[in-house]
Amino acid sequence: MTNFSRGQKGKLADLGLSGAFNVLIDIDPAALVIDISCFGLDSTDKLSDERYMVFYNQLASPANEIRMSMAGRAASFALNLDALPAAIAKLVFVAAIDGGGTMRNVGASSMTLGEKVRFPWSGADFQDEKAVIVGEIYRKDGIWRFGAVGQGFSGGLSALLKHFGGTEAAPGASSAPPAAPPVPLPPTQQQAPLSLSKVTLDKRGDKVSLDKRSGSKGFGRIHVNLNWNRGATHGKAIDLDLGCMYELADGRPGVVQALGDVWGDFDRPPYMRLAADDRTGQSADGENLAINGDHFHDLKRALIFAFIYDGAPNWAATDGVVTIDMPEQAPIEVRLDQGGNQTMCAIAMIENRGGSMQVTKLADYFSQQGRESGHELMDRRFGFGLRWTTGSKD
């Protein structure tokens, strides 16, 4: 592994990197909420095709040349430089604070390219900036290179978007297409402004209500993602499992979880399906649950939960975050930031309130008491009335 310092540059080929590799940006947020993004710029350092801004609201470029996934406090970008359009000359990786605080509060952080190059940095390098341009991968004389930037930026993500020439959609406004971009990238025609909207439920009891879009059957595919820092505690990596207790509109209760191989069904009751469980802890995509929002009328409520299946119980070390995404709605983010050494966390409740969706942050934590498991205690707390028995994923 080659360590770079701020301002250092080098050709990717000389560093042992080819066209396809991963970029990992790992940040110690120190209780801050930090969004990590990648801007794909043209030869004038402008975002002439906004489909090449990859961030929490747009996780991939048009042909998956850049794909982003979250892993606790880190963001991983899978790159295929050879597949990028010729008009994309530079990839700029940035980190921006969402809310209060400054970059001087950030702890030890790094940007890593494959397993070849590492650029370490920390908040000690900055003052009161709200964002950092961490590093860039750029094409010069037809050759891809890496530059360790580490430059503070006074504004947040919205200011960065403006700096790079992008257009932000007004909150709540309809996305009318602007004029054609100055450097068109086929097959782009006119582009809608980028929405930076995001809903973060900070405190226990915080809630948000969403209405179906006019003329739509439901909410479309609702994607629930759980991600966390898989770092070892007491020598063992943390294995979190995502699950859901539900109650259908007809009163039938149930659970979807890897424990007991209860995966659910997307097209039939309970209209939710848990993706395959990652026992290795290596998947950057985390744990994922899909809810069929076109059958939202068949659902009364769904309790999203997580439990520590393996590794020492330590919620503070997980940096866990749940994101709830659906078409034409701002993503909803809930952080698992209030627990201790419990094994189970009731994260959020999704409820059908007369056809509208209400999402509430719960942040209730449970541990086994005597013969009663965390599952049973959580069930009793929220009144689903399920019957429980000892289970295993092995």
Instruction: Grade residue 170 by pLDDT with cuts at 50, 70 and 90.
Output: low
Per-residue burial over 297-328, b if 16 or more Cβ lie within 10 Å, else e, is: ebbbbbbbbbbbbebebebebbbbbbbbbbee
Residue-wise pLDDT for 54-104, tens only, equals: 998 888 999 999 999 876 678 899 999 999 999 999 999 999 998 888 999
Q: What average pLDDT score do residues 141-159 get?
A: 92
pTM over 0.85? The answer is no
Q: What average pLDDT score do residues 269-296 get?
A: 80
**Residue 280 has what pLDDT?**
46
**Residue 299 has what pLDDT?**
96
Q: What average pLDDT score do residues 284-298 get?
A: 89
Long-range (24+ apart) CB contacts under 8 A made by 215-218 are: 217/294, 218/292, 218/293, 218/294, 218/295, 218/296, 218/297
Instruction: Grade residue 122 by pLDDT with cuts at 50, 70 and 90.
Output: very high
Could you write out the DSSP letters of every residue in 200-253? EE-STT-EEEE-PPTT-SS--EEEEEEE----EETTEE-EEEEEEEEEETTS-E
**Residue 177 has what pLDDT?**
36
**pLDDT over 90 for what percent of the chain?**
53
The C-alpha atoms of residue 124 and residue 310 are separated, in whole angstroms, by 35
